[in-house]
Amino acid sequence: MIFADFAKALGQMNDRAFRRVLFLGLGLTVALLVAIYAGFLSLIEAFAGGPITLPIIGEVSWIDNLLGWGGLGVIILMSIFLMIPAASAITSFFLDDVADAVEAKHFPHLAPAPEVPFIDALRDTVLFFGVLVGANLLAIIGYGLLPFFAVPIFYALNGFLLGREYFTIAATRREGREGARNMRRKYLPQIWMAGILMALPLTIPLMNLFIPILGAATFTHLYHRLAGQNG
């Protein structure tokens, strides 16, 4: 069923409202990756006490490299590791717009969802982002102890965290915090699997740039499908 939810999200790319949000999200995703990359190089250069040298690319003067094709290649490679936190970071900025576009097309009978206050959305995003980063840092220990299980652990962990975040935000719009929490507990296996299926393409360069917005649409469909079962 989650594949049907994703197919509906993908099928809406011709919708003008949805396409506008998709490209806004794409732009912010690229900007976040560039900013993280620039900060990363600056931090390394500061600790190194001068320019650094990367294989193939050579000496890195970070601003010059950032603007060059070499920097673009490094950003694309780094997106394998950075897109999961980037996807988490932009969720609250666009999920309402994505959900509105999805509901306007697929659930036009619904009344407009009450807006989540910006401060609440920002707090939730910062909290989710901190949990995501902290859990992945702790997971490094597990990767070292169980290297043969590192890949399954990575996707299981991030699938759980992403599914939890995206579903909670999608459900909170119409169920409130408590209602979203109850639904998440009840349908955890489906939400977890949907999160894993979202995490997989997030580690594929270039494709991963589109996944945060498509994921938000997919989880909106998932919420409405489960809400129908819940009712």
**Residue 169 counted as domain residue:** yes
Q: What is the pLDDT of residue 70?
A: 53
What tens digit of pLDDT does each residue of 200-217 get?
998 887 788 788 888 889
**Residue 34 counted as domain residue:** no
Q: What is the pLDDT of residue 43?
A: 67
**Residue 64 counted as domain residue:** no
**Residue 41 counted as domain residue:** no
pLDDT band at 192 (very low <50, low <70, confident <90, very high): very high
Q: Would you call 54 helix, strand, or coil by DSSP? A: strand
**Residue 51 counted as domain residue:** no
Mean pLDDT across the chain: 80
- Which residue carries 């407009």 as its tokens? 112
Q: What is the pLDDT of residue 61?
A: 55
Q: What is the pLDDT of residue 49?
A: 57
d(CA 229, CA 23): 33
Q: What is the pLDDT of residue 156?
A: 93
pLDDT at 40 over 70: no
**Residue 32 counted as domain residue:** no
pLDDT band at 71 (very low <50, low <70, confident <90, very high): low
Q: What is the pLDDT of residue 167?
A: 94
Q: What is the pLDDT of residue 33?
A: 74
Give the E-state strand segments of 180-225 in sequence order: none
- Class of residue 143 by CB neighbours under 10 A (exposed 0-12, middle 13-18, buried 19+): middle
pTM of the entire predicted model: 0.79
Let me know: does 195 contact 159? Beta carbons within 8 Å: yes
Domain total for the chain? Answer: 1
pLDDT band at 29 (very low <50, low <70, confident <90, very high): confident
pLDDT at 120 over 70: yes
User: Domain containing 151: what range?
Assistant: 2-27+83-230
Let me know: does 184 contact 216? Beta carbons within 8 Å: no
**Residue 33 counted as domain residue:** no
Q: Inter-axis angle of helices 16-48 and 69-106, to 10 degrees?
A: 150
